[in-house]
Amino acid sequence: MVKNSLIFISQENKKKNTGSVEFQIVSFTNKIRRLTPHFELHKKDYSSQRGLRKILEKRRRLLSYLATKNRLRYKKLISQLDIRESKPR
């Protein structure tokens, strides 16, 4: 999977599972991937950088929650999104 591509969820799954941990992580990942090229053009956009850091932290917390609750779902989602495994804290 190309890292810059967005992950799409089918419409029927989107309506049913918007509160699931996996859906939230996927939507945060899409937001992160949309914001990243913005910072190549606008290096001094500090307010958006702050928002990006908040999104990254929310995603990190959700990933650590999923890793403790269900390791198999965590591994599957990490490989699907093509992101690195988080460091244990």
pLDDT, tens only, 12-71: 555 667 889 999 999 999 999 999 999 999 999 999 999 999 999 999 999 999 999 999
CA–CA distance, 64 with 83 (Å, rounded to integer):
13
CA–CA distance, 28 with 82 (Å, rounded to integer):
14
The whole-number pLDDT of residue 1 equals 42
To the nearest 10°, report the CA torsion of 3, 32, 58, 87: 40
The whole-number pLDDT of residue 38 equals 95
The whole-number pLDDT of residue 55 equals 98
The whole-number pLDDT of residue 85 equals 87
Residue spans per domain, the chain: 21-81
Class of 21-81 per CATH?
A: mainly alpha
